[in-house]
């Protein structure tokens, strides 16, 4: 029996995350370096787990205010 995960974790490049969120790649790098978005370094390249993006977006959700 193999210990390989049937659904490997998806890793995105900084450019891919920036494209998904509609921001500049430097914005993503800044979020990573500020500790607001988790990432891993693979060689010399930063990669971001899909779950990290989902968690980041959940933390950015705003609550409606009464007007």
**pLDDT per position as a tens digit, 31-64:** 999 999 999 999 999 999 999 999 999 999 988 8
**In order of start, what are the domains of the chain with their CATH numbers?**
11-60 (1.10.10)
The pTM assigned to this predicted structure is: 0.79
* Res 60: pLDDT: 93
- Specify the pLDDT at position 62: 87
Task: Please report how many Cα atoms fall inside a 13 Å half-sphere around the Cα of residue 67, on the Cβ side.
Answer: 2
Q: Roughly how many angstroms between the first and final C-alpha of the chain, as a whole number?
A: 59
The pLDDT value given to residue 7 = 56
Asked whether the beta carbons of 12 and 25 are under 8 A apart, the reply is: no
pLDDT at 42: 93
Q: Tell me the per-residue pLDDT of 4-32, one tens digit each, with 9 for 90 and over.
A: 555 567 999 999 999 999 999 999 999 99
């Amino acid at each position: 029996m193999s210990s390989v995960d049937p659904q490997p974790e998806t890793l995105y490049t900084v450019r891919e995350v920036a494209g998904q969120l509609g921001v500049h790649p430097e914005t993503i790098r800044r979020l990573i370096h500020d500790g607001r978005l988790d990432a891993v370094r693979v060689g010399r390249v930063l990669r971001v787990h899909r779950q990290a993006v989902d968690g980041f977006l959940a933390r950015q959700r705003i609550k409606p205010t009464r007007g």
